[in-house]
Chains A and B, each alone.
Chain A
Amino acid sequence: MKASYTRLAAVLLMALASVALAADNDNHQVTVTVNDINELAVTGGDITLIISSATAGQNPNQATDNTCGLEWTVNTTNKKITVATNQSSFAHTLKVQAASVSGGTAAAEVTISDTAQDLVTGVATTLGTCTLNYRATATAAQGTQSVAHTITFTITAAS
């Protein structure tokens, strides 16, 4: 009789074990994280503006260039794009304005200095592009010079 009970217990145990091992589903955790992304690039490469002519009796004619642009990818909010040059002192005037802007709002034409100034505002969770309209001017009194600017565009928090 004792042996019978033992056999019964063993059979029940084996059957229960088979139940415990069987599972028709399983799950795991999958985490998807997206970090802050604020990427900006200048398209079109380097440019040269040469002021080379004038009408007699007038200051020299301005030089312009619109061959370059910006592209940006921003998945954060409340951002703007600023512009600055690495040159702290130069005689001529160099200006830039963002044109044909998508993914933001063009600021007014900027007279470039070594202090960052707004070029595009209202940048938030967007892809964007613009054309860079450069304009260089000089007066006769400023004489001749050649200055190589490194122009830096930055995505930064809007104040």
Chain B
Amino acid sequence: MKRILPTLAATAAIFLSSLGQAADVAILNGDVSLTITTAAAGQQPPAVTDETGQLEWTTLVTDAVKKIIAQTNLAGPSYTLSVRAVNISAGDGTGAGAVVLSTTPADLVVDIPSGIQPLDPGTCTLRYAASATVTGGAGTDNHSVTFTITDQ
């Protein structure tokens, strides 16, 4: 019994630890609201932007090269919502440019290396931009935007 317990503990630890061996991504600063309120006469309303949100991510030393993808749960939005990763911490990935959010995941940050530790996580600012045309009318789109770190 004395030999079984350590073996059992080690096996369980390895098993559970393997479950935890996933890269991690987290959003900072909560929800975002963008409001389009005006336009110049004869022109479409100008886009509005928000940069209050941030992402943090970590990877394990054993990880393959990763990327972060973004998508919304809202199919057929009335307005265009895009997001871009800016101010990416040095050496922690490369911005993939502005992503027009849809229900299909799109690359936001690519070439994320292994071994990004929790004490010094990768970070970026989320630059959201919302735009509308007059044909979209007035109203509200409610998005749940999901960021996922996955193998590249």
Contacts and interface: CB of A to CB of B under 8 A. Distances in A.
Interface string A17-45: 01101111111111111111101110000
B62 interface: no
B137 A125 contact: yes
Contact of A23 (B10, B25, B53): B25
B81 A30 contact: yes
Given A7-B9, A23-B26, A34 B39 contact: no
Q: Decide if the interface of chain B is mainly helix, strand, loop or mixed.
A: mixed
Given A4-B2, A27-B146, A75-B132, A34 B139 contact: yes
B16 A33 contact: no
Interface string A39-79: 11100000000000000000000000000001111111100
A12 interface: yes
A114 B70 CA distance: 56
How many chain A residues sit at the interface, stated as a range, is 35 or more
Given A16-B16, A23-B24, A41-B42, A29 B32 contact: yes
Interface of A: 1, 4-5, 7-8, 11-12, 14-16, 18-19, 21-37, 39-41, 70-77, 125-129
Given A18-B20, A31-B31, 19 more contacts: A5-B5, A7-B5, A11-B9, A15-B13, A19-B20, A21-B20, A23-B22, A23-B25, A24-B25, A27-B27, A28-B30, A28-B145, A30-B31, A30-B33, A32-B140, A34-B35, A34-B136, A37-B37, A74-B134
